[in-house]
Structure 1
Amino acid sequence: MNKTFKIYAVIFIIVMVILALLEVNKKETTDWRKNFSVNEKSPFGLFVFNEEAKSLFHNQLKKIEKTPYDYYNQHKKNPHNILIVESEVDTESWNNILDQVSKGSDAMLVVSEMPKNIADSIGYYDSQISFAEQNVLKLTDKKYQNDFITLDKFPSGRGFVYIKPQVEILGKMIDESKHEQVNFIKRKLGKGNIYVHCEPLFLTNYYLLKSGNIQYAQDVFSYLDNKETLWFVESSTQTSRFFMRFVLANPALKYAWWVLLGGLVLFIFFNAKRKQRIVPVIVPLRNTSVDFVKSIGNLYLQEGDFHDMMAKKAQYFLNKVRLDLLIDTQNLNDDFANKLQLKTGKPIELILEGIELIKKAQDPYASVIKEDLVRMNKILDEIVRI
């Protein structure tokens, strides 16, 4: 046994001992990721809701591990309830859901974000976000006024804006500053109804296990008629095709595999260190343009000259419109707004609001505040990305 082999053997034993000590002293950590998985017992999983869902829907609940598109192409159903909780809905599936709703089914979508084309078809334009650390969810119906839920852990703070007149408001979110945002709506389509709730956290383990919170969930689902409910969930039975799945599925084999890899890395490292000369590190030239832009931005922010910043933003936006969209920006009138709407496809209300803010920025005597700058920046970036 030569000296080199003894060194590697000692290193290997030390690594094994360290891994064993780490495993023995390992502490369970709480997974706070918003996974919304029906099999997860972590705070933001849906294990509790999955267990209680059958009684909540009067034992008429059926979980479907297919997309609505695949399921409805294979099954013809009488009017029923459709439930989707924080799952992606593709365009084809959405068309199938709309078809079922028009025939008399009711759909309950508990999702934090919705694709724009789907949101438009329901009757609201977009969602806004409150950054408060605590929100209260309440329903507008007087018979539910005493039932509410307080979200004190990572609330999304989402709410609906630009709601169309034919949409009925069923619930609101109230933040710490008493600011209200609509977060639960109803839209009648054909013979059925679509319900959208944009805060799925109230269905997670963390909140359902708190005393009294289950009542809010019961109130939300009470809007669905007592009939068969199809809950479309993401498939949990797919088997991994990774060739190492058996090794990684067993803790003992998994740790042995990582130890083997660690030993190989150490072997390569020490061998390479002896045989290869050190390659000098050549530090590339630093691009100071970003630092310069940040410095200028911080200077404007410290000065608080929001009017000047709005004027520059308006100037850059109009220059972008002239160069890229070939629209004359000399007169910001209705003709300009219509041309911009045709070339960008953005809502005319959004464009008109942006034009008003541009005019305000160009007026040297106008009084502006920080909120005007923030709103203008958001609207102009949404119309034409600068």
Structure 2
Amino acid sequence: MNKTFKTYAVIFVIVMIVLALLEVNKKETTDWRKNFDINEKSPFGLFVFNNEAKNLFKNNLKKIEQIPYEYYSQHKKDPHNIIVIENNFDKESWNKILTQVSEGSDAFLMVARMPKEISDSIGYYDSEISFEEENVLKLTDKKYQNDFAKLDKFPSGRGFSFIKPKVEVLGKTVEKKNTDQANFIKVKFGKGYIYAHTEPLFLTNYYLLKPGNVKYAQDVFSYLPDRETIWFVSSKSSTSRFFMRFVLSNPALKYAWWVLLGGLILFIFFNAKRKQRIVPVTEPLRNTSLDFVKSIGNLYLQEGDFHDMMAKKAQYFLNKVRMDLLIDTQNLDEEFAKKLQLKTGKPMEMINEAITLVKKAQDPYASVMKEDLTRINKLLDEIFK
């Protein structure tokens, strides 16, 4: 087991221990976002309403995930009920809904902020009517006077600030310090009706699970006639199929994902520090001097000029004697021989033989054989060895 592997192993164990401690000490946090998602079990999701909707509408309910424009472009429908709960559509989709209403359908719009296409068509605009932290929703019909919904968590506080003639007010927001304000109206549009409720929060999980609020929800939807009802559900549920959303929504998978990412980052970090680019092998410059000497030697050998080669060898030897041994080489006499013998420590016989061959090499008229060249080369190299 090498040192690098031990380092990675220790880091991995430390990370796993830290994550385990975080998981043990983790406190579950509540998601209070107003998502209005039929698959969400968070306080402001529509999971409970989605499960009870079929019974509420006597199995006449059909949930549609398409936008209204696409759905009505593909289907021709008789008069029916339309439900929209806090959903954003394009202009063409809202116009399709208005067309269906004008032909006899009823649209139940439960949105905190009324779409401009609807507001412009019916001529009624919603606004901020309450700034209290608690609201009570009641219906104006006397038979429902004992049914209400109390909103104690993040009410939108929106409603209709003014009411025109021929508009029926079906529900109000009731507060202790303020006068009642309309939040649920019914408007005639062509052959059908538009029901507009500006506080869809009472349909979420948090409020439907509270005692009494279910009865208020039943009363609100009782205004719709008993016929086929189409509910355009939020398209958020389709995005939940994306694998990363599923992974991040599951605590175990989420921590596994973060551990994987952390491990990859550590791996890249340590490898980037310990590794570098491969250094290319640079071939050393070739010494061509030896090749040159060999080429010159071969040239002389082919020409057979042993005398010239012997003269150059003698010249090189005498130069080395002058430079290295500091002996004058002008006269190659007995005194020169003694000095050379003292400086090199070689036998006098070898010194005298070498001097004889050097003098022969310097004589331009001497007859030099191959054996003489070989012998002088061997002797001179031996003297300086």
TM above 0.5:
yes
8 Å Cα contact 1:116-1:126 kept in structure 2: no
Aligned residue number for residue 381 of structure 2: none
Match of 2:146 in 1: 146
Task: Give the 3 Å change call, closer, same or farther, for CA 191–21 of structure 1 in structure 2.
Answer: same
- Aligned partner of 1:168 in structure 2 is 168
Q: Take 1:246 and 1:126, find their aligned partners in 2: how far apart are those partners?
A: 37
Within a 5 Å distance, the mapping from 1:1-386 to structure 2 comes to 1=1, 3-235=3-235, 236-237=237-238, 240=241, 254-267=254-267
Distance between the aligned counterparts of 2:217 and 2:204, measured in 1? 10
2:73 match: secondary structure: helix
Please list every run of 5 or more consecutive structure 2 residues that lacks an aligned counterpart in the other structure: 276-385
Question: TM (normalized to structure 2)?
Answer: 0.65
Q: Is the 8 A contact 1:45 1:204 kept in 2?
A: yes
Stretch deviating more after TM superposition (183-192 or 26-35)? 26-35
Residues 76/211 of structure 1: CA separation in 2 closer, same or farther (3 Å cut): same
- Once the two structures are TM-superposed, the CA of residue 71 in structure 1 deviates from its matched residue by 0.9
Residues 165 and 59 from structure 1, CA distance in 2 versus in 1: closer, same or farther, beyond 3 angstroms?
A: same
User: Alignment partner of 1:143: what SS?
Assistant: helix
Identity among equivalent positions (%) equals 75
1:124 counterpart SS class: coil
Letter of the 2:74 partner, please give it.
Answer: Q
Q: Write out per-residue CA displacement over residues 103-135 of structure 1, whole angstroms, 9 at most, x where no aligned residue.
A: 111110011112223212122134114221100
Distance 2:247 2:220 in 1: 44
| Aligned-pair CA distance for 1:21 | 3.0
Kindly state the Cα deviation for residue 10 of structure 1 after the two structures are TM-superposed.
1.3
Distance 1:167 1:74, change over 3 A: same
DSSP 3-state at the match of 2:77: coil
Letter in 1 for 2:204: T
> What is the aligned residue count?
274
User: Is this contact kept in 1: 2:48–2:208, CA < 8 A?
Assistant: yes
Aligned to 1:284: none
C-alpha change, 1:273 and 1:178, in structure 2 (3 Å) is: farther
Tell me what 1:376 maps to.
Answer: none
Q: Give, in angstroms, the shift of residue 164 of structure 1.
A: 3.3
Q: What TM-score, normalized by structure 1, do the two folds share?
A: 0.64
Q: What code does the residue aligned with 1:127 have?
A: S
Deviation at 1:6, TM superposition (A): 3.1
The question of whether the paired residues in 2 share the 8 Å contact of 1:123 and 1:166 is answered with no
The one-letter code of the counterpart of 1:77 is K
Shift in alpha-carbon separation, 1:177–1:249, aligned structure 2, 3 A:
closer
Q: Are residues 16 and 198 of structure 1, via their aligned partners in 2, closer, same or farther at CA, if it must alter by over 3 Å?
A: same
Amino acid in the other structure paired with 1:147: D
Contact 1:166/1:187 (8 A) holds in 2: yes
Identify if the C-alpha distance between structure 1 residues 162 and 20 changes in structure 2 by more than 3 Å, giving closer, same or farther: same
After TM superposition, give the deviation of residue 15 of structure 1 in Å. 0.2
Q: Could you list the per-position Cα deviations for residues 303-325 of structure 1 after superposition, in whole angstroms to 9, with x for gaps in the alignment?
A: xxxxxxxxxxxxxxxxxxxxxxx
Coordinate RMSD, CA, aligned: 2.7
The 2-side partners of 1:120 and 1:60 are apart by 31
SS at 2:54 equivalent: helix
Query: Could you report, residue by residue, the CA deviation over 1:154-197 in whole angstroms, capped at 9, with x for unpaired residues?
Result: 11111112443332211111234233221101110111100000
Q: Kindly provide the amino acid, as one letter, of the partner of residue 79 in structure 1.
A: P
Is this contact kept in 1: 2:34–2:44, CA < 8 A? yes
Q: Distance in 2 between matches of 1:214 and 1:230?
A: 21
Q: CA deviation at 1:75?
A: 1.0
Q: In structure 1, list runs of 5 or more residues that go unmatched.
A: 276-386
SS at match of 2:87: coil
Q: Which amino acid aligns with 2:59?
A: N
CA separation of 1:252/1:205 partners in 2, compared to 1, >3 Å: closer, same or farther? Answer: closer
- Quick one: which amino acid aligns to residue 259 of structure 2? V
Moved more, 159-168 or 89-98: 159-168
Shift of residue 241 of structure 1? 5.7
Moved more, 185-194 or 55-64: 55-64
Instruction: Go from structure 1 to structure 2 and tell me whether the alpha carbon gap of 1:126 and 1:273 turns closer, same or farther (over 3 Å shift).
Output: farther
Q: For 2:161, what is the secondary structure of its paired residue?
A: strand
Contact 1:155 1:201 in 2 (8 A): yes
CA distance in 2, matches of 1:248, 1:151: 31
Letter in 2 for 1:7: T
Residues 55 and 246 of structure 1, relative CA distance in 2, 3 Å threshold: closer
Q: Is the 8 A contact 2:126 2:158 kept in 1?
A: no
Of 230-239 and 99-108, the range deviating more from structure 2: 230-239
How many Å separate the matches in 1 of 2:28 and 2:190? 51
Change (3 A) 1:21 1:65: same
Report the Cα offset of residue 250 of structure 1.
7.2
SS in 2 for 1:196: strand
